[in-house]
Amino acid sequence: MEEELGGQGNWGLEDAPGLLAMASLPIMPTWPLPLVSSAFTLLLGALTSLFLWYCYYLGSQDLQALAAGSRAGGVSGGPGGCSEVGRPSPGSSGEAGKGPRTEGLVSRRLRAYARRYSWAGMGRVRRAAQGGLGPGGGPGVLGIQRPGLLFLPNLPSVPFVPRDAQRHDVELLESSFPAILRDFGAVSWDFSGTTPLPRGWSPPLAPGCYQLLLYQAGRCQPNNCRRCPGAYRALRGLRSFMSANSFGNAGFSVLLPGARLEGRCGPTNARVRCHLGLKIPLGCELVVGGEPQCWAEGHCLLVDDSFLHTVAHNGSPEDGPRVVFIVDLWHPNVAGAERQALDFVFAPDP
């Protein structure tokens, strides 16, 4: 039986030296050590180069996609973004987000943030990055809240946010009303459209709609800030200004008589847009989520512009333009950890 299983018959102690000698024989031919070392070094170098190229490719794709999302409107669309600029926000047609590409981009940036810091407190942001739906299985509330780029779930949703939600910033802006109005007088012009645009003013993105930005998509505009010291000083004193985020804008918005911006939605419900009335003629109207409201000179309105909204100046040419100073603030129910993460994910373009 042992002959059949092992094929070697009976082994004794006298056979041990021979067996040890056989076990010590090399299975494969021995390669010269310098050759093996060189081959391993080349392989390691090739793998390292491939890994670095892949990291560079992913990073460049992230930056290009974020820049494209910012330029598409609503993110870097200035203080009007959606409510005061004629260029629609991404997804303003009613679909939340920009599809798998943007969702994947946001998820990658969020994972990079979590590796550097922590996932603590990131539940809502994580669901938003994965394209989480709004109440009722669809984006927003009853179809009238349709943020185009980022929907943060479980935020209290009302078209007009109570003043007390941002009491400090509202009171600071209202106390700065005289200084901000003086700044507007220093940079204002006739808005006739027959003369070249003065320095600092953006080309009209809709007929009769002009803007001068102090912050655009989270980036300070130094020349305009120097020309408007009172407004810039007020911005520096705000506690919840989105000054380091692509969703954050601040500046003067001018709407000429007869101009109208039809219904559209902003890019995210994570912000609240603060309107400080500077010059408000009769016939001006703001409708957000089906609720009409009007500005008042020297007073602030807090607007969730992720709701469908319309802006109109129905006054006569003799009434002059409607002028408001607009600042993007954090939604009061976005926690500090969530703000830090969203600042990382939606950092301004370099």
3-state secondary structure of 344: helix
**0.75 exceeded by the pTM?**
no
Q: How far apart are the first and last CA of the chain?
A: 80
At 39 the pLDDT is 75
* Arithmetic mean of pLDDT over the chain: 79
Rounded to the nearest angstrom, the gap between the alpha carbon of residue 310 and the centroid of all alpha carbons in its chain is: 23
41 pLDDT exceeds 70? yes
At 46 the pLDDT is 82
**For 83-126, what is each residue's pLDDT tens digit?**
454 333 333 333 444 445 556 788 899 999 999 998 888 999 99
At 289 the pLDDT is 92
User: What percentage of residues in the chain have a pLDDT greater than 70?
Assistant: 71
More confident residue, 266 or 51: 266
E strand or H helix at 109 = helix 100-116
74 pLDDT exceeds 90? no
- Short-list 85, 73, 156, 105, CA closest to 309: 85
User: What percentage of residues in the chain have a pLDDT greater than 90?
Assistant: 52
3-state secondary structure of 31: coil
Q: pLDDT category, 206, cuts 50, 70, 90?
A: confident
195 CB-near residues (< 8 Å, 6+ apart)? 189
Helix-strand-coil split of the chain, %, nearest 5: 40, 20, 40
Angstrom distances, CA of residue 95 to CA of 140, 143, 273, 308, 327? 10, 10, 21, 13, 25
Q: pLDDT category, 45, cuts 50, 70, 90?
A: confident
**For 147-183, what is each residue's pLDDT tens digit?**
988 999 999 989 999 999 999 999 999 999 999 999 9
**Where do the domains of the chain lie?**
163-190+198-346
Residue with tokens 């807090």: 302
**For 285-309, what is each residue's pLDDT tens digit?**
999 999 999 999 999 999 999 999 9
3-state secondary structure of 81: coil
344 pLDDT exceeds 70? yes
**Rounded Cα distance, 60 and 64, in Å:** 6
27 pLDDT exceeds 70? no
**Rounded Cα distance, 320 and 315, in Å:** 8
> Is the Cα dihedral 293, 234, 330, 66 positive or negative?
positive
Please give the backbone phi and psi of residue 229, each rounded to the nearest 5 degrees, phi first. Answer: -65, -35
CATH fold for the domain made of 163-190+198-346: Jelly Rolls (2.60.120)
Residue with tokens 């500046």: 251
At 288 the pLDDT is 94
If you average pLDDT over residues 184-210, what whole number do you get? 87
At 136 the pLDDT is 38
At 44 the pLDDT is 82
At 56 the pLDDT is 53
